[in-house]
A and B are shown apart, each in its own frame.
Chain A
């Protein structure tokens, strides 16, 4: 009963436009009021405790790194470099859009920073070159989801914190699926480009290419140092995020000389405001998660699966369908805070390794970044391209379909995602 009531309240509050983080908080407050003898003060208690975790410090740090990259025009360097590689193929700008998202993903832990940074440059550019707005918006939004699949990744850090899986291991698992998504998208773009006669960009001369390449090396080094450092144990994920910021500052200020001291106040304010949005939602989700613990939801779910489902594959499909649904309404972080503790024991009983559950969850929730009503990357890209959400969403569908296919491949042939990690660091698994 109370479960239905709370779900109803949740939907109504969301539809009338109460911010999602507050909807989550209000629902948990009502839930606690319904439990006699359990004080409502647990809502703020749990909100603060939800943030009391060293791992979470990585969130603003990775957002800081991405903001620094955008301010320091390192994103522009990456775009130039990507163009010099794939620009001459038919649909060059579209390919570059995807490739730069893959490069950007290696530094940034969040997808939104990529949509904003790259979208602001490439969407107008693509329109100017004669692409229709739908294509520009669709490709920008869809390809930026790679940001959370290729490491580093904030959702992976949160997942690792929830499940005690090694962050380094999860990062390694993300590499192949992320690259696969990017390559598959480029293949689709190529097919569409030939059919629709998308323009090509002038081919870069070898000399020009080498120049761009050398120019981009310092920016390209970041992911190598980051992932390498975490896997080799030189620093923890949080420290790596701090390091990425410092490194970007050094490169931006002293190598490219595009980052100025006067830019810093704005960068810091942007970092604070943007990260406090997802972290406040996380705090509220912790309170709701606590409520679910008092109702012992996880043992109920465990029993449901134990009594009704006996196939690991069906279990995985249910998880994917569930997170597709949840991801349409909620950010990845609160979604994981709420449901991973409930799902993890069931996954264990089916023999699904936490790292596999992790990559499946993260890829599924990445799709949620571009599905309405609440797809942050879609909303951002649509805003930049000045396109209504409905049309943006239809534009993004073919690319989501690709992420979905790769997701199924990764889920049902675990060997693919596990190839790199088992090669590099077999003792982690």
Chain B
């Protein structure tokens, strides 16, 4: 339940940022033709875009839809398939935790840097998308691991 809810929230945030950046680009073209300066549009669009990509990437990890080469996974059956999934998830867990951990290091270092066109905005608001992505990826991967261990003697591997 919690995982479902988390995924839903994250997907909604991603879509909202997608909409923000879409609208911002429309504003940019329109204002340029009207001869109005809207220099902030570039940064707002790019940073919303970054947020939406990172949120989407995390959701897709939960759904196991990142492109992979699955010839070996498909060849294996039963316990050996589950074991391979366990190994993969452990590796992913280490990497996503590294993203989370180093993401926090980065947020701490750059929190007070400011945007160029909107100096009242902190760069921290952009950088924090990394530990949020990393952290949710850790949660999703842990969930995969737990589900897999629970069902280890069951019939099919949990995808």
B23 to A: closest C-beta gap in Å = 10
Question: B25: CB under 8 A from chain A?
Answer: yes
Chain A residues, CB < 8 A from B60: 273, 276-277, 280
Please, how many angstroms separate the alpha-carbon atoms of A343 and B65 in the complex?
Answer: 32
| Residue interface mask A20-49, B partner, CB < 8 A = 1 | 111001100100000000011101110110
Chain A residues, CB < 8 A from B22: 61, 64, 242, 245
Please, how many angstroms separate the alpha-carbon atoms of A13 and B73 in the complex?
Answer: 12
B45's nearest neighbour on chain A, judged by CB, is A57
Please, how many angstroms separate the alpha-carbon atoms of A14 and B92 in the complex?
Answer: 12
A60 and B103 form a contact (CB under 8 A):
no
Chain B residues, CB < 8 A from A114: none
B68 and A18 form a contact (CB under 8 A):
yes
Chain B residues, CB < 8 A from A169: none
Question: B155: CB under 8 A from chain A?
Answer: no
Tell me whether A238 and B25 are in contact in the complex, defined as CB-CB below 8 angstroms, given that A268-B18, A273-B59 are known contacts. Answer: yes
B31 to A: closest C-beta gap in Å = 12
Question: A331: CB under 8 A from chain B?
Answer: yes
Question: B56: CB under 8 A from chain A?
Answer: yes
B102 and A44 form a contact (CB under 8 A):
yes
Please, how many angstroms separate the alpha-carbon atoms of A279 and B55 in the complex?
Answer: 11
Chain B residues, CB < 8 A from A14: 68-69
Please, how many angstroms separate the alpha-carbon atoms of A268 and B18 in the complex?
Answer: 8
Chain A facing B: main interface SS: helix
Chain A residues, CB < 8 A from B38: none
A51 and B50 form a contact (CB under 8 A):
yes
Chain B residues, CB < 8 A from A374: 67, 69
Question: B66: CB under 8 A from chain A?
Answer: yes
Please, how many angstroms separate the alpha-carbon atoms of A245 and B63 in the complex?
Answer: 27
B49 and A47 form a contact (CB under 8 A):
no
Please, how many angstroms separate the alpha-carbon atoms of A16 and B65 in the complex?
Answer: 16
Please, how many angstroms separate the alpha-carbon atoms of A277 and B130 in the complex?
Answer: 16
Question: B143: CB under 8 A from chain A?
Answer: no
Chain B residues, CB < 8 A from A16: 72-73, 84, 87-88
A45 and B106 form a contact (CB under 8 A):
yes
A48 and B67 form a contact (CB under 8 A):
no
Please, how many angstroms separate the alpha-carbon atoms of A61 and B50 in the complex?
Answer: 14
Question: B135: CB under 8 A from chain A?
Answer: no
Question: B21: CB under 8 A from chain A?
Answer: yes
How many residues of chain B have a CB within 8 Å of chain A?
53
Question: A376: CB under 8 A from chain B?
Answer: yes
B94's nearest neighbour on chain A, judged by CB, is A26
A19 and B71 form a contact (CB under 8 A):
no
A137 to B: closest C-beta gap in Å = 18
A29 and B95 form a contact (CB under 8 A):
yes
Chain B residues, CB < 8 A from A273: 11, 56, 59-60, 63, 65
Chain B 30-82 residues near chain A, CB threshold 8 A? 42, 45-46, 49-50, 52-57, 59-61, 63, 65-73
| Residue interface mask A257-284, B partner, CB < 8 A = 1 | 0000000010011011101110111010
Find A17's partner among B50, B61, B69 (CB 8 Å cutoff). Answer: B69
Tell me whether A26 and B95 are in contact in the complex, defined as CB-CB below 8 angstroms, given that A18-B88, A48-B130 are known contacts. Answer: yes
Find A54's partner among B45, B55, B66, B106 (CB 8 Å cutoff). Answer: B45
Question: B126: CB under 8 A from chain A?
Answer: yes
B6 to A: closest C-beta gap in Å = 16
Question: A183: CB under 8 A from chain B?
Answer: no
Tell me whether A21 and B66 are in contact in the complex, defined as CB-CB below 8 angstroms, given that A26-B91, A242-B25 are known contacts. Answer: yes
Question: A239: CB under 8 A from chain B?
Answer: yes
B53 and A279 form a contact (CB under 8 A):
yes
A19 and B68 form a contact (CB under 8 A):
yes
Chain A 117-174 residues near chain B, CB threshold 8 A? none
A376 and B67 form a contact (CB under 8 A):
yes
Chain A residues, CB < 8 A from B121: none
Residues of B near any A CB (own CB < 8 A): 11, 14-15, 18-19, 21-22, 25-26, 28-29, 42, 45-46, 49-50, 52-57, 59-61, 63, 65-73, 84, 87-88, 91-92, 95, 98-99, 102-103, 105-106, 109, 126-127, 129-130, 134
Residues of A near any B CB (own CB < 8 A): 13-22, 25-26, 29, 39-41, 43-45, 47-48, 51-54, 56-57, 60-61, 64, 235, 238-239, 242-243, 245-246, 265, 268-269, 271-273, 275-277, 279-281, 283, 329, 331, 373-374, 376, 389
For the A-B complex with A17-B70, A52-B50 known, give 4 more contacts whose Cβ atoms are closer than 8 Å: A13-B91, A48-B127, A246-B26, A276-B59
- Shortest 7 CB-CB distances between A and B: which pairs? A276-B56, A19-B66, A280-B57, A41-B102, A19-B68, A17-B73, A279-B53
